[in-house]
Amino acid sequence: MLPSCRSKLARLPSRTRAKADELAAGLGIRVGKVRQVSEYISGYNPVPVVARDMEMGGGGEVPIATGAYNVTVEVQVIFDIIQ
């Protein structure tokens, strides 16, 4: 996983809890413990580099694609509800 994704995911628990508490307060309920966490990552599929031309002889320059990666990370957190 990319370092920028890791740092954002590290902040996720407190942000998720705060948002869940905010939504629950509007409904007059409270949020309990985390029941389930699921994640889906798309757009970043690292490919292993093999020796040039599959001959395993190595040598030569390794081509590097220019541009940017678009990475999407979706995280679903399900909490218990306390009434």
Q: How many angstroms separate the CA atoms of 63 and 61, rounded?
A: 6
15: helix, coil or strand? helix
**Mean pLDDT score of the chain:** 78
The beta-strand segments (E) located in 18-71 are: 30-42
Kindly tell me if the per-residue pLDDT of 16 is higher than 80. yes
Q: Is the pTM for the entire model greater than 0.75? A: no
pLDDT of residue 53: 52
Hey, which residues does 38 pair with through a beta bridge? 76
Per-residue pLDDT tens over the stretch 29-64: 999 999 998 988 887 665 555 554 555 555 566 666
Q: How many angstroms separate the CA atoms of 78 and 52, rounded?
A: 47
**Annotated domain spans of the chain:** 3-47+65-82
pLDDT of residue 64: 62
Q: Which of 74, 59, 65 is nearest to 5 (CA)?
A: 74
63 Cα distance to chain centroid: 27
